[in-house]
Chains A and B, each alone.
Chain A
Amino acid sequence: MNVGVVVFPGSNCDHDAYHVVKHVCGQEARFLWHKEADLRGVDAIILPGGFSYGDYLRTGAIARFSPVMQSVTAFAKKGGPVIGICNGFQILQEAGLLPGAMLRNRTTKFLSQDVHVRVERSDTAFTAGVEPGTVLTMPIAHGEGNFHLPDEELDRLEGDGQVVFRYTAKDGTLDDESNPNGSARAIAGVCNAARNVVGLMPHPERAAEGALGRVDGRRLFEAMSYALHALQHA
């Protein structure tokens, strides 16, 4: 399995993601430069966190027009697994590959803290094998993570089972206090209708090994390996 990590100007979690794939999970990883349309035969793609293009205009708004994103879009439409983490999630929303848009956090503050998220679906490429109801602890670090969609579209999203992660208390119960940025229906992550594209605001790559004090994020990377293995041997 070969995982591509896209590098935009301003990405700052690209090396963390590469490290987890390669050194923690023992898979092949390679960087994909934003100006290159060639995906170099990768089997899965990570859009890492950071501040692509300085967050100018809107978060992810400029990155979505880069040459690599044309190829990522084609790859995703063919069913290729793509995960967007934090800024990567925002880029996928701007590209129209994932629903919703991010507003400024309701506190207007940049939030850098651990959160608990409940896994709602195990039928995506990045949560395969993770029981729904499992609570994962991972850090967030963002100023714009307040997930927004009009109410009727939220209903449709929930009906189609596209809500993958929700901010909850440590025991998995929903309460307003555990929803740090004010996201609609406490949504921390979603997937597309085909379930191969996933985006989330928390950083699994910053919680993937014992030395960092958190290991829950590793489950998403393991799910990706599992899903790819199943795909290749189908």
Chain B
Amino acid sequence: MSKARVYVTLKKSVFDPQGRTIHEALSGLGYQGVTDVRQGKYFELSLPELDLEEAKKAAEDIAHRVLSNPVIESYRVEVEP
């Protein structure tokens, strides 16, 4: 078994209305130093692969095919035993 963490975020070129709303709320609360907020998604996968290279490949396949929409999102995968 191994574990994978998948982070899915909107591409930099894509407008994030939720992130902007959160950013505005933070400004309203007095967090003036925050220059930007981007909202994303986080997934934890428990995988059967023991080999970390193979686990990463499997997680990347899942992230590409299902967890993200390549038109608007990109993803990053981390694996651990």
Contact = CB atoms under 8 A, between A and B. Distances in A.
Contacts of A105: 17
19 contacts: A57-B66, A58-B69, A61-B66, A65-B66, A94-B69, A100-B71, A101-B69, A101-B71, A101-B72, A103-B14, A103-B15, A103-B16, A104-B16, A104-B17, A105-B17, A107-B17, A108-B18, A146-B17, A148-B72
Interface of A: 57-58, 61, 65, 93-94, 100-101, 103-108, 146, 148-150, 182
A106 B10 CA distance: 14
Contact of B67 (A57, A101, A146, A148): A57
A146 to B, nearest CB: 7
A146 B18 CA distance: 13
A107 B17 CA distance: 7
Interface of B: 10, 13-18, 21, 66-67, 69, 71-72
Contacts of A65: 66
B2 to A, nearest CB: 22
Contacts of B71: 93, 100-101, 148-149
A103 B17 contact: yes
Nearest to A153: B71
Contacts of A57: 66-67
Which residue, of B13, B21, B66, B71, has the highest number of chain A Cβ atoms within 10 A? B71
Contacts of B69: 58, 61, 94, 101
A96 B28 CA distance: 40
A104 B10 CA distance: 11
Contacts of A94: 69
Contacts of A100: 71
